[in-house]
Chains A and B, each alone.
Chain A
Amino acid sequence: MDQFIEQIITGLSIGSILLLVALGLSIIYGSMGIINLAHGEFVMLGAYAAWVFHTYLGLGLLASLVPIFLVVAAFGWVIERFVLSLLNNRPLDTILATWGVGIMLQQAVRLMVGSELRYVQLPPALSGSMELFGLSVSSYRMFLFIVSLALFAATWLLMNRTTVGMKLRAIIQDRSVAASFGVNAKRVYALTFAYGAGLAGLAGALVSPLKSVSPDMGTGYVVDAFMVVVLGGVQSLAGTVASAFILGELSGGIAFLQNDTVAKAIVLLAIVVLIRFRPEGLFTARVRA
């Protein structure tokens, strides 16, 4: 029984990291239709930002979260303005362009800080562990779980309860009609992309104490995040949450029964089959065309 609960908790922990990484991607893909292959590099930038703030400015991880969000969001804004906004009518080409951008970011970091692994310290207040259902759980993982849900809530509110969110939803439904009502689509797109990038940066900063930081750390995340978004359904934030935890539990469970490789292969195959039969994802209600 203990083992079962432990498995569930491991799954939730994997799931919360997946959610953190996938949230930004879900916003960008769902609202702009851009397959952002540079997403993993935004995660990596966030992790490096955490390392830089800590090493050179002596800031703790928690104190630097807001600046990290802003820095990576600024990167996202620039990339949207100068690269992606030129590709409005060529969605397939955004895959290529963002991949090129990803290579550049990765290589620039490698040239500037070197490719050796970097480590970010756990915040001292969260380095211990706590009791949960009679099991000891790392406080930091618990913290990640709560933060991922909080960020999801914030994003949901932003999308559904603010003017910017309303404008964005209007553009998603019909860009030209929204534009003729005075919505500045370019500006909203740039802000959306920046927000998504900022979220990815936060994700990178938050996972940096758990994993080592390296220029190519993003590659793994981007694939996982895509699977979450595809499984959850493109335009459904709640679906993203559900699928993040489903995938988390699944990978945790299969990895426990078999091994990591088999877990990964099975999850990928399941997603391939899912795309074929339900390309709109598991949790999307039919959207009006």
Chain B
Amino acid sequence: MSLNGSTSNGLQRLTAQLAPLLIVCALVFALPVLLNNDFLLNKVARYLVLGILTISLGLSWGFGGILNLGQAMSFGLGSYAMAMALKLKTIPVHTGASGLPDFMVWNNVQALPWFWVPFRSLPFAIAAGMIVPALVAAALGWFMFRGRVTGVYVSIITLATMVVINLVIIDQQSYTGGFNGITDLAQLEIFGVAFDAYGRATYYLVAGCMMLSLLVAFAFTKSRAGLIVQAIRDHESRVRYFGYDVALYQIFVFALSAAIAGLAGMLYTVVMEFASPTFLGVQLSLSVVVWCAVGGRQSLVGSFLGAVLVAGMQGALSESAAFLETWTLVMGALFVLVVLFLPKGLAGLAQVVWRWIVQRRQAAGGVAQGVGQTEGST
């Protein structure tokens, strides 16, 4: 047997855990070769972005035990950051170059509001798209976890906070575009590469970010901090008695998850070519929870695939209204069944099946060996 020493054993286990992740990434990168249809690629890119969002929830919920019902808040903030920058790149019809965005003109705003000004710089916007959600989450996390708020109350607070921000964005129409969101955006352009929503470049951008998010999240779960976060999920007070600053770790995973969600939000704006208050709505936020639960909240690849499969299926069926309505019903039933019988989601199921196959094979090998031995003795 090749199991000599614990390091090679650990390495083997790490490879085994990393393998599904890399296989999924390879498939995602290989897809454009097989699928020569820009419209479909755009759709797939959209599902990949939702997958990144779901990875971010898996990180805080599956690994940190923090059921954030307002995950779409970070997503929406990222999306608006990107949309603001791209909006300022357009040439307004009414006010000419570097003038006011059209919806501000319609709302009689005279000068560009102060919080819009820095978004003239694209690097600032890209940084803000991740840092602002992370800071907001850190502040909210500080507020909650320093007060030892846990469980259901975390869910209620995160949901309520998201609804408040959503209401404010809809209400402040002259600064945010209100109910319509921010539309008519310029194309994203980095180092001379233009990211057309229907182009290959955008698809690879999304795929690259997806791989990056998966790897960062994976590395975090294997790091010391990641292990402590998982320990907190399983038994908070025990970790506290060991002298760890529980709240600090919770705040960190909460903020990291928000930053990844913010990245997803920015990509979503590029893929969809607009930003809208629905991006931080209750509907999307709860859908993310469903995807994550169906895919397997304690598996990063699982949550990603859960989002891509379920959202993809929904998208494929949405061509016909009757199908979509029935699908929603089936979706609800599927979700209830998963919660009841598969608390670890499809990833958990895959694990069970995989173990069963391995055991069968080992058993078969054992029998063969036994047969060989008896043959040898005769």
- Interface, chain A (partner B; CB < 8 A): 35, 83, 86-87, 90-93, 95-97, 99-104, 107-108, 110-111, 219, 223, 226, 230, 259, 261-262, 264-265, 268-269, 271-272, 275-277, 279
Complex interface: chain A residues within 8 A of B171 (CB): 259, 261-262, 265
- The count of residues in chain B whose C-beta lies closer than 8 Å to any C-beta of chain A is 36
Complex interface: chain B residues within 8 A of A107 (CB): 325, 328-329, 332
- Knowing A96-B293, A279-B153 touch, does A90 contact B343 (C-beta < 8 A)? yes
Residue of A108, A110, A223, A272 near B161 (CB, 8 A) is A272
In the complex, A235→B160 CA distance in Å?
A: 22
In the complex, A122→B167 CA distance in Å?
A: 33
- Knowing A268-B160, A272-B160, A275-B157 touch, does A103 contact B339 (C-beta < 8 A)? no
- Knowing A96-B335, A268-B163 touch, does A275 contact B149 (C-beta < 8 A)? yes
In the complex, A271→B156 CA distance in Å?
A: 10
User: Are A276 and B149 in touch, CB under 8 angstroms?
Assistant: yes
- Knowing A93-B343, A111-B329, A272-B161 touch, does A101 contact B167 (C-beta < 8 A)? no
User: Are B160 and A101 in touch, CB under 8 angstroms?
Assistant: no
User: Are B160 and A271 in touch, CB under 8 angstroms?
Assistant: yes
Shortest A231–chain B CB gap in Å is 11
- Knowing A100-B339, A111-B325 touch, does A91 contact B152 (C-beta < 8 A)? yes
In the complex, A52→B290 CA distance in Å?
A: 32
Q: Which 9 pairs from chain A and chain B are nearest by CB?
A: A103-B332, A104-B332, A100-B336, A100-B335, A107-B329, A261-B171, A107-B328, A97-B339, A268-B160
Tell me whether B340 is interfacial, beta carbon within 8 Å. yes
Interface flags, B304-331, vs A, CB<8A=1, else 0:
0000000000000000000001101101
User: Are B335 and A103 in touch, CB under 8 angstroms?
Assistant: yes
Residue of B nearest to A263 (CB): B167
User: Are B143 and A264 in touch, CB under 8 angstroms?
Assistant: no
In the complex, A230→B149 CA distance in Å?
A: 14
In the complex, A277→B147 CA distance in Å?
A: 7
Residue of A86, A219, A269, A271 near B340 (CB, 8 A) is A86
Complex interface: chain B residues within 8 A of A92 (CB): 67, 151-152, 155
Shortest B314–chain A CB gap in Å is 12
User: Are B332 and A101 in touch, CB under 8 angstroms?
Assistant: yes
User: Are A276 and B339 in touch, CB under 8 angstroms?
Assistant: no
Q: What total count of A-B pairs have CB within 8 Å?
A: 95
Tell me whether B170 is interfacial, beta carbon within 8 Å. yes
Shortest A47–chain B CB gap in Å is 20
In the complex, A223→B162 CA distance in Å?
A: 13
Shortest B72–chain A CB gap in Å is 15
Shortest A196–chain B CB gap in Å is 17
Residue of A nearest to B151 (CB): A92
Chain B residues 131-168 with CB under 8 Å of chain A are 143-144, 147, 149, 151-153, 155-157, 160-161, 163-164, 167-168
Tell me whether B333 is interfacial, beta carbon within 8 Å. yes
Complex interface: chain A residues within 8 A of B149 (CB): 275-276, 279
Complex interface: chain A residues within 8 A of B67 (CB): 92, 95
Complex interface: chain B residues within 8 A of A104 (CB): 329, 332-333, 336
Residue of B nearest to A35 (CB): B152
In the complex, A108→B325 CA distance in Å?
A: 9
In the complex, A86→B289 CA distance in Å?
A: 20
22 A-B pairs, CB-CB below 8 angstroms?
Answer: A92-B67, A92-B151, A92-B152, A96-B289, A96-B290, A96-B335, A99-B289, A100-B290, A100-B332, A100-B333, A101-B332, A102-B332, A103-B328, A107-B332, A219-B282, A226-B156, A265-B167, A268-B160, A269-B164, A272-B160, A275-B153, A275-B157
In the complex, A137→B151 CA distance in Å?
A: 43
User: Are B168 and A265 in touch, CB under 8 angstroms?
Assistant: yes
Complex interface: chain B residues within 8 A of A83 (CB): 336, 340
In the complex, A110→B328 CA distance in Å?
A: 11
Residue of B nearest to A93 (CB): B339
Tell me whether B126 is interfacial, beta carbon within 8 Å. no
Tell me whether B286 is interfacial, beta carbon within 8 Å. yes
Shortest B198–chain A CB gap in Å is 32
- Knowing A96-B293, A107-B329, A276-B147 touch, does A87 contact B340 (C-beta < 8 A)? yes
In the complex, A163→B144 CA distance in Å?
A: 40
Complex interface: chain A residues within 8 A of B286 (CB): 99
